[in-house]
Structure 1
Amino acid sequence: MQLKDKVAFVTGSAAGIGKEIAVLYAREGAKVVIADLNKQAADATAAEIVASGGQAIGVAVDVTDEAQVDASVAEAVKVFGGIDILVSNAGIQIVQPVDEFSYADWKKMLAIHLDGAFLTTRACLKHMYAQGRGGSVIYMGSVHSKLASVLKAPYVTAKHGLIGLCKTVAKEGAKHGVRANVICPGFVRTALVEKQIPEQAKTLGISEEDVIKKVMLKDTVDGEFTTTADVAQVALMFAAFPTNALTGQSLVVSHGWFME
């Protein structure tokens, strides 16, 4: 087991990519905190993990609420005795051209993706530093951390910003043995992406099939969606890596959509 007795705090993990990561972490021996806005769904995911022989709890957290973030991390530490891994995964998507984007939606997007990453990072780092056993901070970026697409100005802005935050945390955390890295998935067919397909079809005036083939997957090497399992495997690698040799990096998982 690569994560035996490690404590992982995973935001947005009641479903989708976050859940896949949480389940894999538990299978690899981690004690997992399912941190999600939906407490009922978080508890259900935690119950699934426990029923499979793992260790997990569900906690309610709005990642844009400073007090809730601090309280949920404190609860995790109280139950499991510390924090070794943070996966900052919570996120939403709103699709509109820049000239039609409301300021309220812009602020909402940045708050969830960037403020949430900052608040959870700060709360977890305090415990990682105090414990003196190192740690791993993992941000859920996107191919949009590297390039832009139409209709996604705040999402692209936020995902680019996560790389800057990651690099700073990598430099500051190094003396404490804390690593920071970013996963940059391509399109993963989660509920978030499913919602975008009809929205983009309407905005762009094309069919939903064309959104998939000619927008989302047109630059991949094989016309395939990235899977939640693909992303979870990278999250496991970042969490389990033993030294500062792998820190401050961003790894694209996109079927070749974006290549470095």
Structure 2
Amino acid sequence: MRSLSETSSVKQAGGRLMDKVAMITGAASGIGREIALTFAREGAKVVIADLDQQAARRTAAEIDPTGKRALGVAMDVGNEEQVEIGMGQAIQAFGRLDVLVSNAGVQIVGPLVEFEFAKWKKLLSIHLDGAFLTTRAALRQMYKQNSGSIIYMGSVHSKEASPLKAPYVTAKHGLIGLAKVVAKEGADRGVRANVICPGFVRTPLVEKQIPEQAREFGISEAEVVKNIMLKETVDGQFTTVQDVAETALFLAAFPSNALTGQSLVVSHGWSMQ
């Protein structure tokens, strides 16, 4: 992974997101962090929204210690009040909102017949309630501007299914439906909505799944990686955080409504449409 010093410098005039304002949820680590770094490199002012407020502030400070181009805010995306407060802080700091990347998520695996209802509700709240609440708050500002781009972090599981992932697959499928509605409702206000559908990205979220699935299936961790996670790829490779961030940049910078209501798979060929 690239270091912050290599990725956070702002390009001179010509950056694809020059002076755009982007909020990325779950951006203190993993995919969200890489998206924030990439957007900042391309000239955007970035809002790092994360459940871990201190981590959000650290990431923002590393991108821009002056605070002029990066802001860290605390946000539990499933909490309506926190979403409204965090969005308000972002708009107060930067005056507008051009891009929302709804990235915050968790993974909980287990057979459906044994799955606890509380865990089901927790996962759906973060993925779906969080997407709804942040979208609603973002649209209020984007409609005032008559412009904006909303990007949802889906998954290959937005289109496919795997054992032990019932709530995750359900939630990720749901994001495609939400994006299509936002694309329809937001079109005449200049707002686009799209979904990125990554394959397995070796983040802490995926690292946690490897031993969990090894236990559930009674196989080795190496077999989980080779025969479950990467079996259907064309080259046996994990998707990288950089792959996903570059896709987010492409969608955020796209210049027209020609690309809206779509879901783009980034998976080394694991899922082909």
Answer whether TM exceeds 0.5 for this pair. Answer: yes
Deviation per CA, 1:90-145: give whole Å up to 9, x if none. Answer: 0000010000100000000000000000000000000000122x110000000000
Q: Residue 246 of structure 2 aligns with which residue?
A: 233
Q: Distance in 1 between matches of 2:234 and 2:66?
A: 36
Unaligned runs of 5+ in 2: 1-14
Query: Residues 105 and 127 of structure 2 are in contact (CA less than 8 Å); yes or no, is this contact kept in structure 1?
Result: yes
CA positional deviation for 1:190: 0.1
Unaligned runs of 5+ in 1: none
Q: Residue 162 of structure 1 aligns with which residue?
A: 175
Q: Residue 191 of structure 2 aligns with which residue?
A: 178
Aligned length, in residue pairs: 259
User: Where do 4+ consecutive residues of structure 1 move more than 3 Å?
Assistant: 51-54
Equivalent of residue 105 in structure 2, options 91, 103, 109: 91
Q: Residue 71 of structure 1 aligns with which residue?
A: 85
After superposition, where does 1:81-120 map in structure 2 within 5 Å? 81-120=95-134
Q: Distance in 2 between matches of 1:54 and 1:231?
A: 26
Deviation per CA, 1:226-249: give whole Å up to 9, x if none. Answer: 000000000000000010000000
Q: Residue 61 of structure 2 aligns with which residue?
A: 47
Q: Residue 80 of structure 1 aligns with which residue?
A: 94
Q: Residue 257 of structure 1 aligns with which residue?
A: 270
CA positional deviation for 1:55: 1.4
Q: Give the share of equivalent positions with the same residue, in percent.
A: 69
Q: Distance in 2 between matches of 1:52 and 1:196?
A: 38
In angstroms, what is the RMSD of aligned CA positions? 1.1
| Paired residue type of 2:93 | V
Q: Residue 232 of structure 2 aligns with which residue?
A: 219
Query: Residues 75 and 83 of structure 2 are in contact (CA less than 8 Å); yes or no, is this contact kept in structure 1?
Result: yes
After superposition, where does 1:189-228 map in structure 2 within 5 Å? 189-228=202-241
| 2:160 paired with 1:147 | yes
| 2:17 paired with 1:28 | no
CA positional deviation for 1:52: 10
Query: Residues 59 and 72 of structure 2 are in contact (CA less than 8 Å); yes or no, is this contact kept in structure 1?
Result: yes
Query: Residues 61 and 67 of structure 2 are in contact (CA less than 8 Å); yes or no, is this contact kept in structure 1?
Result: no
CA positional deviation for 1:221: 0.3
Q: Distance in 2 between matches of 1:55 and 1:190?
A: 26
Q: Distance in 2 between matches of 1:118 and 1:190?
A: 24
Q: Distance in 2 between matches of 1:61 and 1:253?
A: 27
Q: Residue 8 of structure 2 aligns with which residue?
A: none
* TM-score normalised to structure 1 length: 0.98
Deviation per CA, 1:178-218: give whole Å up to 9, x if none. Answer: 00000000000000000000000000000000000000000
Secondary structure of 1:72's match? helix
Query: Residues 85 and 135 of structure 1 are in contact (CA less than 8 Å); yes or no, is this contact kept in structure 2?
Result: yes
CA positional deviation for 1:161: 0.2
CA positional deviation for 1:48: 1.0
